Amino acid sequence: MNLFKRFPLILALALFMHGMASAAQAQEKIVVVTNLNNDVQVLDKKGLIDLFMGKYAAFPNGKVATPIDIEMDAELKSQFYKSLVGLPLARVNAYWSRLKFSGRVKPPAVEQTLDDIKLRLEEDESALAYVYESTVTDNMKVVYRFD
Amino acid sequence: MINVQGLGFRFSLFLVVAAMLVVLTTAEFFYRATYENEINEANNDIEELFQTVGATASIAAFLEDEDLAKEAINGLVKTNKILAASIKSETLYYQANVTEAINKNTEPRVFVVRHPFMPEESLAEVNVYPNFEYIISQAEKISTDNSYSLYAEALVVGIVALFITYYIIISPMLRVGRSLHKITPGTNERIDMPDYHAKSEIGALVKDTNQLLSKVEEQFTQERQLREEIEFLEKRFRMLFENAKTATVLMAENGIIELRNKAFNDLVEKTGLGIKQDYGELLDELFDTPEAMKSALQEAFARNEFATGEYKLKSSADESAIWVQLIASPLITEEGERYFQLALNDISSRRQELQKLALQADFDALTGIYNRNGGEKLIAKLMRKDHQFALALIDLNGFKAVNDIYGHDAGDEVLIFVAEQLKEKIRKNDVAIRWGGDEFMLLLQADDEDSVQKVVDKVNSGVKQPFYFNNETKPTVVSMSVGVAFYPETSRNLHALIKLADIAMYKAKQNKVSAPDDYLIFANQYRLDDEDMS
């Protein structure tokens, strides 16, 4: 009897907890990182767009830049592009499809998992990737933070 | 086939002309509207065309990619509506046909090319030069086509309207009209109701017309009946008038005969006067005594009565006298004209008959002298007028023998001979009478015996002349015995007078052999008077 009386309260509490969890996940920030040894300390959003959308293949300091897309974590990728150019992934893919035959402009390189990206970032000085802020390691240098 | 004056042709002509006028007045407006619409459309099209290449131009400006810029600009220029286009950014310039466009003084439309990922940032400008020549020619073409289609539409509407009116209005009306044209008024023919028009205006027209025809027929029938009745009557009247035995004329006041029948013409022919238009006032030329007739008629007419009388007509010498009974009545027509109706009944034969009857009553048929009846009347008349006269009663001697020997015809001959002798020998004022059988009588104007003796002697000498019958050589002789009485000396009474003469004659008869010269004896009045008066 007592348990039934309290049921609505319990339910409300459970829902509240669940909501808090979701918000925590959505609010998880994405950062753009490079190899620790990269000279670039910081990048602006325009510079990121120019690199990730193929306008330039080099950092402002003239060194080659290799932007990297994550293949397996679609959520991360989608969230990144949404934040960067305000477009859904489909549009981004369409953009690249259009430019595919020009040959002059290249889309970002592709790594499968976050671990692959971590590895690439450690090995490749030109690498430029996006990860969740929580997964940033000591081997990464954050050059841009999305608010 | 097509009646230029007909409703169908007129209607469609007016319709087409009206449609053409409407098209003519509206075509300019439509042309202008279409033209402006087309220009606006073209401008919109240019905007839309730019939208289709806008993304490419945007990417080209972002990537500073000349190939992409070319693709975008060429894509624009490829369409007819765009003459030239150019893209210009800080790092990029590409154009197609711009020189030509500038030569033609074409104003470009300027579009801003924005950053594909940062719309707030503009990267380049695209100038689009519309192909106004083409746009205008297109607009004109479409406007003209529209106008033409309007004209064609008007024409089609006219033709369709013609067909519709023809089948809905004109055709049934034509049928009604033809039907009406064929109908003879007054017959039982009627207009057929056109199909599906029983409740339409045409149907109403047909109904009304049929009602009118019915009325006309009714009137015609009535009039025909009336006319037939009148004709029948007229025929009868004419027959009555023409075949009437009474000569009838209708005469105007001036004597002109308006109407005459056959009997009248026949009567006129008998008078010897030809058929003429008139015979004087009141037909007086026809009458023997016009004055008497006219005065009698005018007297009656003055009293507004009919006049009747018997009058003798003029007649040619060889014809016997024509007597008519005239009935004349004045007539006044409704218009106030005065006419006379004169009916002339030929009564000649009746009159002759009467005369003949009178003659037969008073005269002897065989000898032509007075008979006893006539003689008695004559004596009575003389006695009434108190004339003095001598009555000589004559009896023939020997007559019976002639009758017996030679027959009655011979006897008649003797009687005729004697009568002739009597007529011949007496004086002008004397009268001979066949008293009956072989008895004769003379009424002599005489009061003395001598003068009587003288006349009777003369007669006797004539009567005594010999006869030769049937070539007989022996002559036959008749003689007479005479008894004479005087009025009023012998007697004032007729019967007594005759009786006394008869007695005297009987006396004389006794002398016929003994003293044939003493054949005349005068009656003795006194003795008889005494006898008879007693």
In chain B, residues with a C-beta closer than 8 Å to the C-beta of A88 are: none
Give the bridge partners for B483, in sequence order.
B393, B521
Where do the structural domains in chain A lie, given as residue ranges?
Answer: 28-145
Shared domain for B368 and B496, answered yes or no, is yes
How many Cβ pairs within 8 Å bridge chains A and B?
28
Question: Reading across the β-sheet that carries B307-313, which strands appear in turn?
Answer: B257-260, B247-252, B338-346, B322-332, B307-313
The verdict on residue B394 lying in a domain is yes
Does B57 lie at the interface with A, CB-CB under 8 angstroms? no
What is the number of helices (H) and of strands (E) in chain A? 5, 5
For domain A28-145, the CATH class is alpha beta
Q: Tell me the pLDDT tens digit for each residue of B41-88.
A: 888 988 999 998 898 899 999 988 888 899 899 989 998 889 999 999
**pLDDT, average across residues B466-485:** 82
> In sequence order, which residues have a C-beta less than 8 Å from that of residue B395 and are 6 or more positions away?
B438, B439, B440, B480, B481, B482, B505, B509
Shared domain for B368 and B297, answered yes or no, is no
* Best CA proximity match to B134, nearest among B109, B103, B104, B110: B104
pLDDT score of B529: 46
* Best CA proximity match to B106, nearest among B88, B139, B131: B131
Name the domain count of chain B. Answer: 3
**pLDDT, average across residues B199-206:** 88
Q: Give the tokens for residue B224.
A: 């025909």
When CB atoms are compared, the residue of B56, B68, B117 closest to A53 is B117
Closest Cα in chain A to B117:
A85
* Best CA proximity match to B378, nearest among B432, B456, B415, B420: B432
**Interface pTM, i.e. ipTM:** 0.78
Share of chain B above pLDDT 90, in %: 13
Angle at the Cα of B419 (from B374 to B423), degrees rounded to 5? 80
CATH classification of the domain holding B145: 3.30.450
The verdict on residue B476 lying in a domain is yes
In chain B, residues with a C-beta closer than 8 Å to the C-beta of A53 are: 62, 116-117
The verdict on residue B60 lying in a domain is yes
Residue B534 reports pLDDT greater than 60: no
Alpha helix locations (H) across B363-448? 372-384, 399-406, 408-425
* Best CA proximity match to B72, nearest among B44, B101, B91, B93: B93
B117, B120, B121, B123, best to mutate vs chain A, most A CBs in 10 Å: B117
Shared domain for B404 and B368, answered yes or no, is yes
What is the number of helices (H) and of strands (E) in chain B? 15, 14
CATH classification of the domain holding B368: 3.30.70.270
End-to-end CA distance of chain B: 131
The verdict on residue B46 lying in a domain is yes
Distance CA(B478)–CA(B493), nearest Å, equals 32
Residue B114 reports pLDDT greater than 50: yes
Question: What is the residue-wise DSSP string for A12-42?
Answer: HHHHHHHHHHHHHHHT--EEEEEETT-S---
Q: Tell me the pLDDT tens digit for each residue of A75-96.
A: 999 999 999 999 999 999 999 9
The verdict on residue B440 lying in a domain is yes
Shared domain for B113 and B29, answered yes or no, is yes
Q: Tell me the pLDDT tens digit for each residue of B247-266.
A: 888 888 888 888 888 888 88
Q: Give the tokens for residue B189.
A: 């023919």
Distance CA(B484)–CA(B490), nearest Å, equals 9
Q: Tell me the pLDDT tens digit for each residue of B142-189.
A: 888 888 888 888 788 878 877 888 888 888 888 888 888 888 888 888
Burial class (CB in 10 A: 0-12, 13-18, 19+), A65: buried
Distance CA(B293)–CA(B301), nearest Å, equals 12
Shared domain for B384 and B501, answered yes or no, is yes
The verdict on residue B335 lying in a domain is yes
Distance CA(B161)–CA(B16), nearest Å, equals 9
CB B315, CB B287: distance < 8 Å: no
> In sequence order, which residues have a C-beta less than 8 Å from that of residue B140 and are 6 or more positions away?
B35
Q: Tell me the pLDDT tens digit for each residue of A50-79.
A: 999 989 989 988 899 999 999 998 899 999
Shared domain for B525 and B380, answered yes or no, is yes
A44, A48, A52, A55, best to mutate vs chain B, most B CBs in 10 Å: A55
Shared domain for B327 and B392, answered yes or no, is no
Shared domain for B384 and B287, answered yes or no, is no
Task: Kindly report the nearest CA distance between residue A99 and chain B, in angstroms.
Answer: 9
Shared domain for B389 and B511, answered yes or no, is yes
Give the residue numbers in A contacting B (CB under 8 Å), as ranges: 46, 49, 53-55, 84-87, 95, 98-99, 102, 104-105
The verdict on residue B321 lying in a domain is yes
Shared domain for B18 and B139, answered yes or no, is yes
CB B257, CB B251: distance < 8 Å: yes
B62/A55 touch (CB, cutoff 8 Å), yes or no: yes
Which residue segment(s) compose the domain that B399 sits in? 363-533
The verdict on residue B446 lying in a domain is yes
CATH classification of the domain holding B300: 3.30.450.20
Task: Kindly report the nearest CA distance between residue A85 and chain B, in angstroms.
Answer: 5
pLDDT score of A27: 59
The H-or-E segment that residue B296 falls in is: helix B290-302
Distance CA(B136)–CA(B157), nearest Å, equals 31
Shared domain for B377 and B447, answered yes or no, is yes
